[in-house]
């Protein structure tokens, strides 16, 4: 009987979710989704899953809150992700059968947002972003009027830093540069010169990554961060 696209889609979702669970067991934080293609389970009916099929599966799993991670506009689904508690339930209690797990659910519990979370109207409002170690408490900081887009861009970059695969020192440098921007724009009257200097430092950190990172998805992620910064400051 010839295989159907629907069967391949279901098989890819199941295999990808099980792979994310195995990465969790191996203590791999935010594994690169594309590396699933190198796994022996990334095949169905002796035909390997294509990059497009893997992206579709990752997008679906993320939409169903079974995985969560960093995304970029050019690629469907998270480019790096962790399995969620719901995903773990599916992998352990339903043997990774995504369709059966979802069919038997009677609702979803609260989820944790790893990216920027804006409360109310962002125009002069408040912002916060999730912390992977904190499920209830968020740091909420007033942003100076007019600097909300920049705060949003920097918060997005901070949330995506784990996907860059940086060593601890480089990651700390990037966080310091980003936090310097946020510290300045959270002042009642930010000093434009300090804002420009802090943004330039963060952009300068991202530029070599966008140009020379070994993995294409990391280059794309860094370039997306640069584009967000440029748009926020009117470049």
For residue 136, give the DSSP letter. S
Mean pLDDT of all residues belonging to the chain = 80
Q: Above pLDDT 90, what percent of the chain? A: 28
User: What pLDDT, on the 0 to 100 scale, is given for residue 3?
Assistant: 61
Query: Mean pLDDT throughout 58-66?
Result: 94
**What's the confidence (pLDDT) of residue 90?**
94
Contact status, residue 69 vs residue 163, Cβ threshold 8 Å:
yes
User: Quick check: 106 pLDDT over 60?
Assistant: no
The predicted pLDDT at position 140 comes to 42
Residue 15 is predicted with a pLDDT of: 97
Which residues neighbour 56 within 8 Å (Cβ) at sequence distance 6 or greater? 9, 12, 76, 77
- Per-residue pLDDT band at 102 (split at 50, 70, 90): very high
Strand arrangement of the beta sheet that strand 141-142 belongs to: 116-119, 126-129, 141-142
18-27, 58-67, 73-82: segment of lowest average pLDDT: 73-82
Q: Which of the residue ranges 8-12, 35-39, 226-230 has the most confident prediction, judged by mean pLDDT? A: 8-12
The pLDDT score that the predictor gives to residue 42 is: 94
- Cα 168 to the chain's mean position, in Å? 19
Map out the domains of the chain with their CATH numbers.
5-103 (1.10.10.10), 116-232 (no CATH)
Identify whether the C-beta of residue 79 lies closer than 8 Å to the C-beta of residue 72: yes
DSSP code per residue over 36-61? GGGSTTSEETTEEPPHHHHHHHHHHH
Report the candidate in 201, 168, 167 with the shortest Cα–Cα distance to residue 183.
201
């Amino acid at each position: 009987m010839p295989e159907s696209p629907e069967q391949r889609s279901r098989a890819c979702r199941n295999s990808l979710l099980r792979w994310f669970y195995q990465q969790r067991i191996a203590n791999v934080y935010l594994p690169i989704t594309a590396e699933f293609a190198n796994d022996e389970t990334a095949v169905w009916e002796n035909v390997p899953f294509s990059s497009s099929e893997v992206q579709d599966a990752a997008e679906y799993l993320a939409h169903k809150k079974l995985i969560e991670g960093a995304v970029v506009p050019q690629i469907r689904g998270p480019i790096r992700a962790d399995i969620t508690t719901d995903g773990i339930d599916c992998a352990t209690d339903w043997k990774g059968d995504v369709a059966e797990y979802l069919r038997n659910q009677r609702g979803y519990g609260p989820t944790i947002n790893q990216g920027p979370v804006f409360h109310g109207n962002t125009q002069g409002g408040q912002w916060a972003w999730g912390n992977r170690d904190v499920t209830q408490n968020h740091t909420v900081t007033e942003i100076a009027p007019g600097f909300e887009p920049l705060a949003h861009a920097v918060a997005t970059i901070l949330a995506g830093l784990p996907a860059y695969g940086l060593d601890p020192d480089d990651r700390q440098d990037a966080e310091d540069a980003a936090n310097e921007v946020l510290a300045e724009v959270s002042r009642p009257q930010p000093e434009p010169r300090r804002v420009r200097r802090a943004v330039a430092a963060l952009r300068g950190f991202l530029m070599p990554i966008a140009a020379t990172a070994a993995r294409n998805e990391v280059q794309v992620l860094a370039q997306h961060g640069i584009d967000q910064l440029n748009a926020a400051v009117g470049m």
